[in-house]
Structure 1
């Protein structure tokens, strides 16, 4: 990457940006997201598209190319040099908080680097949680999944000239738990810029993002696997996601002694679905896209069962019958090391319409936000800029009758 070219393009882009701000009647200090610098926009686009990797960025070179004085002249290199040329009896190097020094562009651009690094962690294929849930953006602390219960007659034939029958409706709903916020702050210090420790800073950002991503993965799996129970219909008490029909648990979605061994294991699960009905209208449970979730120790067994070309059955007189595999091939198998870690069982497995059963209520998606420049932390801790990595959401159980748990 040619940073001299970037510095020139950034300077030209700043002149264009100021002209746009004048036409809009706003001050040039307005956010770079609202009025972008074309050079910065192109660089951020390259990061988002993957044409440029975050670890190919030099923090020091970006600082030197984008930090300007009040007249718009680049002064980043002079600032870094002043940090080096500090001697006894001489005034110490320039500080970012000093009047006239503008580092908002640097913070905005490095913010995209942080966001790119963060999303690399959240989008790792070994994290399966988000593929098991319906993502529901929300502006509320609690989300209400509303439905209607049929109290009267269902659709009936209407004779010529006769009145249509009236169907009564009663409100039904499921409440989600309260959303919660999770996050970290990652600082970039004067030393990180001076020594150009880009790799160290990105590792720190990656570690923070990984912790946040794994935290969300565990919270999702804990609900999907029945470790944490939050299903609360109407104003009734919370009941277990999985269980046999007993007490407040008025449905049976738990199959005991059903090890994942052959296609009969899946038949036993489907029998459970056939025995359950929708609590709102008494109709059978209708499944959407189905997934099989299992620990790593069962992943190859699950693939062998679903992808087998033939099935062998033994009748009562010990006659072996060979026929084609009747199982659909569109089942999705989801597995990672956290499944067994959360359940503590190498043999329990789960099957059903997970996205129909569970939702992740999200107030805001994972984000990397830069702190305002000129903070007192630059004086007290030599922190040039810092970023907050955060997300807010909660897992909710919409309809547990759409999933079944099997134990060995």
Structure 2
């Protein structure tokens, strides 16, 4: 029997999370309308495991003896995975991490390892809330897809149709058009984070003149800038060098956050190359705001509610968010230290959300089960606008 598997894992240093899955079954979707179907039973992770473990493991073709064998195999796998996670945690120097695994849409393992708050000795647990970094882009993309299928967003219109304040762009003195489709695909030519050096403008101009020869090196250099700065921490402070990544500035609206990059030159002609860009997703958030006719934070909060993501939030410092982890880095001697205050209002769509492994598994399963069916299987709660997916490609 094949199983659909998804897992999530987050770490309290800097905080990151990853969702992966293997899809070997096709699931029937009985709802022909293009609409969100709320993922059901967004329960406490521990209760979910306790209530669903037997149903997850025991298929109609498996006997009680077979179930026991499967259960032992699962526990052995968890034990090995836990050991691997502990080793990886120690290797990278993370104070703590959280792991979640689901099989066939049901959570079978969720566990915290290490500390979410070192100073107050608060351990990581399945309900620990962490920054989810660029998985924020995946959630924002689901909102983009919904707006598209509702007829509120045209992916191929120039972004100025939705964001008139965004400057018209040229590349090599040629007028060019940026579309939402290019933005969500990282094909728009908008830069990524930039190091705090005085010659970035000149570097961009030089690269633009010889783009056909050096675009690959430029892309790799741009994507790796924060890592390079961290390695050079002996000569310059990491947080000063990565001022954009560790921004402390509060932006009242996503439109205000566009000022970080809106007047900069494009890295290449839109549609001709690939450059991973979180700033591009800030522009996506402005498009979403215009298409939905309401502030981007409100759009996302409604999405969280519809999807049953009860522990997913915008990363804002002031509200009390229970079980929120602390964040750490290491100094030149390798000792743990608290990271400075960071305000992620500059990149909510691209890297500014908080969540738990339970909510990420809920969202991940909704993505895994969308646009998949097989006639002999019932529909699975968590399916999301199945017809939209191929049309967006």
**TM-score normalized with structure 1 length:** 0.25
**TM-score normalized with structure 2 length:** 0.25
Q: Which has the higher strand share?
A: 1
Instruction: Choose between structure 1 and 2 for higher RCO, CA contacts under 8 A separated by at least 6 residues.
Output: 2
